[in-house]
Amino acid sequence: MAWFRKKKAGIAPVEQKQVQMPEGVWTKCKNCDEIIYAKEIERNLNVCPKCDYHFRISARERIALILDEGSFVEMDSGIQSIDFLDFKDSKKYKERIKATIKKTGMNDAVVCGEGTINELPVAVAVFDFSFMGGSMGSVVGEKITRAIEKGLEARAPVIVFSSSGGARMQESIMSLMQMAKTSAALAKLKKNGIPFISVLTDPTTGGVTASFAMLGDLNIAEPRALIGFAGPRVIEQTIRQKLPEGFQRSEYLLEHGMVDMIVRRQEMKERLSQVLRIFTKS
Amino acid sequence: MQFYLDFEKPIVELEQKIRELREFSTENVDFSSDIKKLEKKASKLRDDIFSNLNRWQRTQLARHMIRPYTLDYIQHIFTDWFEVHGDRNFRDDPALICGFARLDGDPCVVIGHQKGRDTKEKVYRNFGMPNPEGYRKALRVMQMAEQFGLPVFTFVDTPGAFPGIGAEERGQAEAIARNLREMAALSVPVIVTITGEGGSGGALAIAVGNKVQMMEYSVYSVISPEGCAAILWNDGTKGPVAAEALKLTASDINKLGNVIDNVIPEPTGGAHNNPAEAAALVKKALKAHLDELKQLSGEELVEQRYQKFRAMTQMTEAE
């Protein structure tokens, strides 16, 4: 028997007592890392009050922000995608559609309709990034084309708010064709002298940028939005070098002449109203 | 350097044997019956292999190192060809060639992606991946076609538009988008032939046609199989799996009904096995399409093209 014995037990790890916070009370800004009271961000139209970072917002929130209260009438909300290629990655596309509809309460990645901005009638299409990354398949292409055709028919300006990773891979060639379809509809709009405003929000890349999103009579971007053709990862892999700071951000596109102006969320409605009144001589 | 694909190897080896036998034949030694037997065997082997190609193998054929490129088709199909250069803004893009020629005497515009054969030319042609100035040059020439009332023939064969810093800086997306819109409004016939790789927006930017046709072993897709695999499986080597999922072959796309008008059959063993015959088949199809489109007025051409793309959709509509 040892003459010396430890009398006390070793130091046991103290049970981690984490402060239980109600979900979503505080939000960490993705840009400045500041912890901010979520309600404060919400009150500020989902823009960080410290650094002016524009958080992604849903299509519904965007519509409430831009269109006059109660003026929005949705159209084509019942259209759904179908899995005509039997596409399967980690999940069948058919199941992915079903699950995403259930999760988001939307039928696809864009909400379209008519409404007014300071009493001026417009046709709008608004992307929702939460639905499969805002990707464009048949449904998105069809709904945007119909929104453009609505503008044509009503002789009302058309505005598209983009937020999309690009064409939807699960619909392969059919997604690609939506780029041609929507752009062809814009050719008709242009010929008829009706304004088309493209608002680019974070992120707008791939086939959406390479079709209607770059074809605005005015291209308007939200601050610091990622906008480009190829995604930054693809470019880095191709050229094997780090991309410069601020590459493919709104400010970079403004400098290179690809967008007409950068407009903060708080000022978007008034700016659109001002622009459209001049374009429509009203 | 190897000029055949792995699955072509047995055929190539057999052909080599036949060639050797021919060389050994003299007046005294007659191998003709053996040669005939082997030739029959080679032809059967080729039929067997080519009738059971999977989608990845077809993709490889579309990218075959000795597949005919746009300039090869031009040489076989057209006369009086002269190339024009530059977008009048930045520079000339050798990855996308534009020019004028005659199709059996009739003046026309020819536009197509151009890949390189050897390393030096591949680099010069940027592997057939255009920059914005390439698309802007194509648009300039298409609008000239409209000015002079000439039909436009485009040949599509690109892995995609080039993803680089300069391309983004100069507006790759804008250049493609503008082409889509302006091509839709052209008042002259536009006939598109996918000859090899139809790589996404970079292909579509010269492919908004009244008629769109694909070669038997060409592919057309929203993203390359490798790119698709990298995104969906985080593994760019799973291209063969992605090729199956994307259903990117000419026959797959033809089955969708309204994306392409027809598939041009290729000589046995693929276009590279007999470029002259392949070009003759393309020419025949081009002439048939042109004859049909000549009946339409400028306005009717725009409307026909619009309705063609307008109808492309796959969805269900609930009330």
The predicted complex's ipTM stands at 0.94
Decide if A45 touches B, using CB distance below 8 A.
no
Task: Provide the whole-model pTM.
Answer: 0.92
Q: Residue A15 above 80 pLDDT?
A: no
Question: Dihedral angle at the C-alpha atoms of B131, B233, B242, A162, nearest 10 degrees?
Answer: -50
Q: What would the pLDDT profile of B13-47 be if each residue is shown by its tens digit?
A: 998 888 888 888 777 778 888 888 888 998 899 98
Yes or no, beta carbons of A184 and B231 under 8 Å apart:
no
Residue from B59, B254, B314, B319 to probe the interface with A (highest A Cβ count within 10 Å):
B314
Burial of B39 (0-12, 13-18, 19+ CB in 10 A): middle
Q: What would the pLDDT profile of A59-73 be if each residue is shown by its tens digit?
A: 999 999 999 999 999
The residue behind tokens 């960490």 is A28
How many distinct helices (H) and strands (E) make up chain A? Answer: 9, 10
Q: Residue B95 above 80 pLDDT?
A: yes
Yes or no, beta carbons of B174 and A214 under 8 Å apart:
yes
Residue B92: the pLDDT is: 97
Chain B: residue nearest A141 by CA? Answer: B313
Chain B: residue nearest A211 by CA? Answer: B177
Identify whether the C-beta of residue A108 lies closer than 8 Å to the C-beta of residue A81. Answer: yes
Strands A196-204 and A218-221: parallel
- List the single residue in B184, B204, B312 with the smallest CB-CB distance to A187: B184
Yes or no, beta carbons of B177 and A78 under 8 Å apart:
no
Residue A4: the pLDDT is: 78
Strands A120-127 and A79-81: unpaired
Decide if A184 touches B, using CB distance below 8 A.
yes
- List the single residue in B165, B181, B259 with the smallest CB-CB distance to A186: B181
Yes or no, beta carbons of A173 and B181 under 8 Å apart:
no
Based on its alpha-carbon atoms, the radius of gyration of chain B, rounded to whole angstroms, reads: 21
Q: Residue B1 above 90 pLDDT?
A: no
**Distance from C-alpha of B164 to C-alpha of B155, rounded to nearest angstrom:** 23
Q: Residue A14 above 80 pLDDT?
A: no
Q: Residue B104 above 90 pLDDT?
A: yes
A residues 225-264 near B, CB within 8 Å? 228-230, 234-235, 238-239, 243-244, 247-248, 256-258
Beta carbons within 8 Å of B219's beta carbon, 6+ residues apart: B55, B58, B59, B62, B194, B196, B197, B198, B243, B248, B249, B250
Give percent of chain A with pLDDT exceeding 70: 95
CA distance B25 to chain A (A): 52
Residue B266: the pLDDT is: 95
- List the single residue in A142, A186, A256 with the smallest CB-CB distance to B169: A256
**Distance from C-alpha of B135 to C-alpha of B175, rounded to nearest angstrom:** 6
Best CA proximity match to A167, nearest among A177, A157, A159: A177
The tokens for A267 are 């000022």
The amino acid occupying position A282 is: S
Per the prediction, chain A carries an average pLDDT of: 92
Chain A: residue nearest B131 by CA? Answer: A229
Q: Residue B260 above 90 pLDDT?
A: yes
**Distance from C-alpha of A36 to C-alpha of A68, rounded to nearest angstrom:** 29
Residue B236: the pLDDT is: 81
Decide if A112 touches B, using CB distance below 8 A.
no
Q: What would the pLDDT profile of B179-238 be if each residue is shown by its tens digit?
A: 999 999 999 999 999 999 999 999 999 999 999 999 999 999 999 999 899 888 888 889
Chain A residues near residue B207 by CB distance under 8 angstroms: 180
Residue A1: the pLDDT is: 59
Query: In angstroms, what CA-CA distances link A124 with A62, B177, B269, B290?
Result: 11, 20, 51, 39
- List the single residue in A78, A174, A186 with the smallest CB-CB distance to B312: A174
Chain A residues near residue B201 by CB distance under 8 angstroms: 176, 179, 206-207, 210-211, 229
Chain B residues near residue A88 by CB distance under 8 angstroms: 245
Yes or no, beta carbons of A187 and B247 under 8 Å apart:
no
Chain B residues near residue A138 by CB distance under 8 angstroms: 312-315
The tokens for B96 are 């996308």
Chain A residues near residue B176 by CB distance under 8 angstroms: 210-211, 229
Q: How many C-beta neighbours within 10 Å does residue B88 have?
A: 9
Strands B315-317 and A79-81: antiparallel
Decide if A181 touches B, using CB distance below 8 A.
yes
Chain B residues near residue A180 by CB distance under 8 angstroms: 180, 184, 204, 207-208, 309, 312
Decide if A157 touches B, using CB distance below 8 A.
no
Best CA proximity match to B73, nearest among B259, B219, B264: B264
Q: Residue A103 above 70 pLDDT?
A: yes
What is A27-90 written as a DSSP string? Answer: EE-TTT--EEEHHHHHHTTTB-TTT--B----HHHHHHHHSPTT--EEESTTEEE--TT--BSS
Helix (H) or strand (E) holding A209: helix A206-209
Identify whether the C-beta of residue B139 lies closer than 8 Å to the C-beta of residue B174. Answer: no
Q: Residue A223 above 60 pLDDT?
A: yes
Query: In angstroms, what CA-CA distances link A252 with A181, A244, B73, B133?
Result: 29, 10, 41, 20
Yes or no, beta carbons of A142 and B313 under 8 Å apart:
yes
Backbone angles phi, psi at B60, to 5 degrees: -65, -35
Mean pLDDT of B122-136: 97
Could you write out the three-class secondary structure of chain B? CCCCCHHHHHHHHHHHHHHHHHHHCCCCCCCHHHHHHHHHHHHHHHHHHHHCCCHHHHHHHHCCCCCCCHHHHHHHHCEEEEEECCCCCCCCCCCEEEEEEEECCEEEEEEEECCCCCHHHHHHCHHHCCCHHHHHHHHHHHHHHHHHCCCEEEEEEECCCCCCHHHHHCCHHHHHHHHHHHHHCCCCCEEEEEEEEEEHHHHHCCCCCCEEEEECCCEEECCCHHHHHHHHCCCHHHHHHHHHHHCCEHHHHHHCCCCCCEEECCCCCCHHHCHHHHHHHHHHHHHHHHHHHCCCCHHHHHHHHHHHHHCCCCEEECC
Decide if A189 touches B, using CB distance below 8 A.
no
Query: In angstroms, what CA-CA distances link B49 with A75, A97, B57, B268?
Result: 51, 38, 10, 11
**Distance from C-alpha of A60 to C-alpha of A133, rounded to nearest angstrom:** 16
Higher pLDDT, A9 or B118: B118
Yes or no, beta carbons of B185 and A187 under 8 Å apart:
yes
Mean pLDDT of B243-264: 96
Mean pLDDT of B58-85: 97
Max avg pLDDT among A4-18, B150-164, B233-247: B150-164
The amino acid occupying position A76 is: D
Burial of A12 (0-12, 13-18, 19+ CB in 10 A): exposed
Yes or no, beta carbons of A171 and B231 under 8 Å apart:
no
Mean pLDDT of B76-90: 97
Residue A24: the pLDDT is: 74
Predicted confidence band at A17 (pLDDT cuts at 50, 70, 90)? low
Predicted confidence band at A57 (pLDDT cuts at 50, 70, 90)? very high
Residue B34: the pLDDT is: 83
The amino acid occupying position A190 is: K
